[in-house]
Amino acid sequence: MRTLLANGTVVTATEVAAADVLVEGERVAAVGPALSSAVDRIIDVGGCYLLPGAVDAHTHLDLPVGDVVSADDFASGTIAAACGGTTTIIDFATQQRGGALGEALDAWHRRARDKAAVDYGFHVTVCDVHAGVLDEMDALVLEGITSFKVFMAYPDRLQLDDAGIYRILRRSAGNGALVQVHAENGTVIDLLVREAVAAGRTAPRFHAETRPPVLEEEAVRRAIALAELAGAPLYVVHVSTAGAVDAMSAARARHLRIYGETCPQYLFLSEEAYEAPGLEGARFVMSPPLRPASMQPRLWEALARGELQVVATDHCPFSEADKARGEHDFSRIPSGGPGIETRLPLLFEGGVRTGRLSLTRFVDVVATEPARIFGLYPRKGTVAVGSDADLVVFDPRARQTLSADTHHMRVDYSLYEGMEVTGVVRTVLLRGEVIVDQGRFVGRAGGGRFLPRAPHH
Please state whether beta strands 64-65 and 68-69 pair in parallel, antiparallel, or not at all (unpaired): antiparallel
Torsion over CA: 13, 92, 159, 290 (sign): positive
CB 196 within 8 A of CB 209: yes
pLDDT at 173: 97
pLDDT, tens digit, 9 for 90 and up, residues 187-202: 999 999 999 999 999 9
pLDDT at 457 over 90: no
pLDDT at 36 over 90: no
pLDDT at 278: 81
Three-class HEC string of the chain: CEEEEEEEEEECCCCEEEEEEEEECCEEEEEECCCCCCCCEEEECCCCEEEECEEEEEECCCCEECCEECCCCHHHHHHHHHHCCEEEEEEEEECCCCCCHHHHHHHHHHHHCCCCCCEEEEEEECCCCCCCHHHHHHHHHHCCCCEEEEECCCCCCCECCHHHHHHHHHHHHHHCCEEEEECCCHHHHHHHHHHHHHCCCCCCHHHHHCCCHHHHHHHHHHHHHHHHHHCCCEEECCCCCHHHHHHHHHHHHCCCCEEEEECHHHHHCCHHHHHCCCCHHHHHCCCCCCCCHHHHHHHHHHHHHCCCCEECCCECCCCHHHHHHHCCCHHHCCCCECCCCCHHHHHHHHHHCCCCCCHHHHHHHHHHHHHHHCCCCCCCCCCCCCCECCEEEEEEEEEEECCCCCCCCCCCCCCCCCCEEEEEEEEEEECCEEEEECCEECCCCCCCCECCCCCCC
pLDDT at 367 over 90: yes
pLDDT at 15 over 90: yes
pLDDT, tens digit, 9 for 90 and up, residues 103-116: 999 999 999 999 99
The angle at the Cα of 454, spanning 452 to 456, to the nearest 5 degrees, equals: 135
pLDDT, tens digit, 9 for 90 and up, residues 209-225: 999 999 999 999 999 99
For the segment 269-274, the average pLDDT, to the nearest whole number, is 97
pLDDT at 327: 86
- Yes or no: domain 53-373 corresponds to CATH 3.20.20.140: yes
**Selection from 174, 296, 138, 308 nearest residue 236 by Cα:** 308
For the segment 150-169, the average pLDDT, to the nearest whole number, is 97
CATH topology classification for 2-51+383-396+407-441? Urease, subunit C; domain 1 (2.30.40)
Prediction pTM value: 0.98
For the segment 385-392, the average pLDDT, to the nearest whole number, is 98
Q: In residues, how long is the chain?
A: 457
pLDDT band at 432 (very low <50, low <70, confident <90, very high): very high
pLDDT band at 45 (very low <50, low <70, confident <90, very high): very high
Sheet with strand 258-262: strands edge to edge: 54-59, 86-94, 119-125, 147-151, 178-182, 234-236, 258-262, 310-311
Q: What are phi and psi of 114, to 5 degrees?
A: 70, 10
For the segment 321-333, the average pLDDT, to the nearest whole number, is 94
pLDDT at 279: 85
Other Cβ atoms less than 10 A from the Cβ of 324: the count is 15
pLDDT at 37: 78
**Selection from 23, 173, 95, 79 nearest residue 445 by Cα:** 79
pLDDT at 266: 98
**Percent of the chain scored above 90 by pLDDT?**
97
Per the prediction, the chain carries an average pLDDT of 97
In the chain, where are the structural domains located?
Answer: 2-51+383-396+407-441, 53-373
